[in-house]
Amino acid sequence: MISALVVWLAVSSTGNLTIRELETTGQARLALYDSSLRAAIDRYRYLPYVVARHHQVIDAISDPQSAQIANFYLERVNDRSGAAALYVLDKTGMTVASSNWNTPDSFVGEDYSFRPYFSQAIAGNEGFFFGIGVTTGRAGLFISNSIRQNGAVIGVVVVKLELDELEMNWQEGGETVFVADADGVITLTSRGDWKYRTLSPLSDADRARIVRNRQYSGRDLTSLNVGQQLAKGSGIVTISSQRFLFDSKPIRGSDWRIYYLTSMDQVTDRQAAVMLIAIIGGGMIVLVILFLRERELKLASQREAREFERIQALNTRLEEEINERRRTEEELRGTQNELVQAGKLAALGQMSAAIAHEINQPIAAIRTFCASAKLMIERGKTDQLDQNIGQISSLTERMGAITGQLKTFSRKSTGVLEAVDLKIALNNALQLLSPQLDSENCTLERHEPETPLFVHADLVRIEQICVNIIRNALDAMENSSVKRIRIDLSSNRNDVVMRITDTGPGMNDETLSLLFDPFFTTKDPGQGVGLGLSVTYGIVRDFGGTIKAYNTTTGGACFEVRLPLLRDKKT
Ligand code: ADP
C-alpha cells in the first residue's frame, strides 16, 4: 500500500516536473522558430515597397514597350534577393512584368486580380497572402505593395517567397512545429502529413472564399479537429491519438500563429523510467524488509529453540527434583509411620501406669474373691460360690477389655485408604482412652449427627488423630477444676468437621505458633516428646484435610480438624 503510494507520488511528480521542464524548453524553442520565420519574411518585406518606387516599374505599367526593361530589372533584383518571383501587376491585376519572364512558368500576361494580395495592394495596403501558385503550382508567401503615380495607385508589385528551405530545416530538426493561417490552415510545418490540414473544419463560407481565391487549389483541407484544444494557446493536445504539449504565439505583422509541440511520450517515457526505478527500488526495499523479517524470524526461532532447550533442561531438572521429593516423601512417610509408632509407644508408656492401676484393682479384687471362695469351700458354703465366681469372671472380662484395647493400639496402619466413618474412629479412640478419662474424672460431651460421616482415609490413622488430641486435652486439664471434653462432629457440602474443646488453660502465643512443630513440647521430660501434634498434622494433610488450634472464649483449647467428605459412599 505505502510502496504503491510512493511509486504513484514519484511518477506523478516526475510527470509534473517533466511537463514544466518541457514547457520551458518549448517556450524557448517557440520563440526561436518564430524569430527565424519572421527573419525569413522580413528579409523580403521591404522589397515590393522599394521596387514599386522604381521608375522602370512605374514605366512598365504606363508603357507596355518598357515592360521588357522592367523584366530585366525584376529578374536582377529577384536573383539578388533570392526570392521565388518578383512581378508587377497593372490596375486590372494583369501581370505586365515578372522576374521569370523568360521561363515556361512566366507570370507575364497572367491575371491575378482574384488574389487577395492584389486587392489589398490596390486598396493601398500591404498585401500578405500565403497560397499555392496558380501558375507554378508551388506554394509561397506573396507580399505585395502598391505602385503609385502622382498619388494614385496604378499597379501592384508582388514578391513571392518560397519557404521550402525553412520548412525543410524544420523537418530536419525533428521537432514538431507548424504555422496556421487565419482560417486555421496549416501552411508551414515540420510534419509533411499535416500540411494543408485545418485545425477545425472550415465553414462553407470560408471554404468558398478559399476556392474563390484559389488559395489552396487541389487540396482537400481536411480537418485535424484540434482547434478547440489549441484555442487555449498552450496546454496538451491530442493529434492522431498522439499526445503533445503545445505552446503557440501569433506571428507579428501577420494573422498567422505558430505552434510548437512536444510529444508527451517524453513525459510518459520518463514516468515509466521513474516507475521502473521506483518499482525496482520498492522491490529492493521489500526484499530487504523480507530478508530482515526472515532473519528476525530465524533469530526468533533460534531463540525459541534455545528457550525450548532451556525449558526442557528445566523440566528434566524439575522431574529429577520431583522424583527426589517423591523419594524423600516416601522416606518421610516411612519415618512418619515410625513416628506414629513412636507416639503410640510414648502413649503406651503413659498409659501403662493407668493400666497398671486399672488392672491392679481387679487383680486385688480377684485375689480377695479367690480367698473368700477358698473360705466358702472350706466352710462348705458352696452355694455362695456361684456369685463369687461370677464377680471374678466380670473382673477378668474388664481386664480383657483393657488388654484388648492395647492390642488395637499396637495395630499398624495398612496404608490402604478406604471409607472411614469418623464416628466409629472416634468411638475406638475413646474406648482406647476410657481408662484415662475415667481416672481423670473427665466428662465427655458429644454432639454429632445420626448419619455416619465418611472420609476417605485409613481407620487406624484417624483413630490416632483423635487419640492424640484427646490425650493432649486430658494432659492440659490435669490441674483444672472442671474437666470436660466436648466433641462436635458435623459436615457441610465439602467437609467433615471435628472440633475437640477442653476446659484446660488454653495455649499462649508461642505455643500456638509452634504447636505442630516436631519435638515442641511444654511437658516435663518423660511426660511428652512433642511428636503427637506434628504426626497428627501430617496425617490430616495426607488425607487432604486441615487442622487448626485456637483458644475458646471460655479459655480452653479447641482443635478443629477438617477432612474432605466422602459423599458417594453407599451406606
Ligand atoms: P506432647 O504432647 O508430647 O507435648 P504434642 O505435639 O502432642 O506433644 O503437643 C505439643 C504441645 O502442645 C504440648 O506440649 C502442649 O504444650 C500443647 N498442647 C497440645 N494440646 C493442648 C491443649 N489441649 N491445651 C493446651 N496445650 C496443648
CATH number at residue 269: 3.30.450.20
Cβ(425)–Cβ(466) below 8 Å: yes
Helix (H) or strand (E) holding 413: none
pLDDT at 408 over 50: no
User: Cell 527434583, residue?
Assistant: 321
User: Is position 303 within any domain?
Assistant: yes
**Which residue, by CA, sits nearest to atom 14 of ligand 1?**
521
User: Which of 202-206, 433-437, 517-521 shows the lowest per-residue confidence on average (mean pLDDT)?
Assistant: 517-521
Q: Residue 413: what pLDDT?
A: 59
One domain for residues 124 and 249:
no
Q: Give nearest CA residue, ligand 1 atom 10.
A: 521
pLDDT, position 351: 53
Distance of CA 507 to the CA centre of its chain: 66
Between strands 443-447 and 484-491, the pairing is parallel
Q: Are residues 427 and 569 in the same domain?
A: yes
419 and 558 together in one domain: yes
Do 315 and 213 lie in one domain? The reply is yes
Task: Judge contact between 18 and 244, C-beta under 8 A.
Answer: no
Are residues 434 and 286 part of one domain?
A: no
Residue whose entry in the numeric block shows the C-alpha cell 521542464: 21
Asked if residue 136 lies in contact with residue 105, where contact means CB atoms within 8 angstroms, the answer is yes
Pair (385, 244) in one structural domain? no
Evaluate: CB of 74 within 6 angstroms of ligand 1. no
Q: Is the minimum distance from the CB of 476 to ligand 1 under 6 angstroms? A: yes
> What is the amino acid identity at position 487?
I
Residues 152, 185, single domain; the answer is no
Same domain, 540 and 499: yes
Total domains present in the chain: 4
Domain membership flag for residue 339: no
The alpha carbon of 491 and the centre of ligand 1 are apart by a number of angstroms equal to 26
Classify residue 328: in a domain, yes or no: no
Residue 376 and residue 430 in one domain: no
> Residue 118 corresponds to which cell in the numbers above?
492584389
Question: For residue 546, which of 504, 496, 512, 510 has the smallest C-alpha distance?
Answer: 496
Cβ of residue 10 lying under 6 Å from some atom of ligand 1: no
More confident residue, 22 or 259: 259
Buried b (16+ CB within 10 A) or exposed e, 479-493: ebeebbbbbebebee
Same domain, 196 and 292: yes
Taking phi over 0 as left and psi of -120 to 50 as alpha, with beta for the rest, 304 belongs to alpha
Residue 201 lies in a domain: yes
The residue to mutate among 465, 472, 474, 511, having the most atoms of ligand 1 within 8 angstroms of its beta carbon, is 472
What are the tens digits of pLDDT across the range 102-136? 999 899 999 999 999 999 999 999 999 999 988 88
Domain hosting residue 187, numbered range:
2-45+165-321
Tell me how far the alpha carbon of residue 455 lies from the centroid of ligand 1, in angstroms.
Answer: 25
Report residue 411's pLDDT band, with 50, 70 and 90 as the boundaries: low
In a domain, 344, yes or no: no
Q: Which residues pair with 131 in a beta bridge?
A: 140
- Determine whether the shortest distance from the Cβ of 472 to ligand 1 is under 6 A: yes
Instruction: Please give the C-alpha separations between residue 565 and each of 26, 414, 421, 479, 558, in angstroms, as whole numbers.
Output: 102, 21, 10, 37, 21
Same-domain pairing of 256 and 365: no
* % of the chain with per-residue pLDDT over 90: 51
Q: Which of 162, 178, 211 is the last residue of a domain?
A: 162
Residue among 533, 537, 539, 559 whose CB has most ligand 1 atoms within 8 A, to mutate? 533
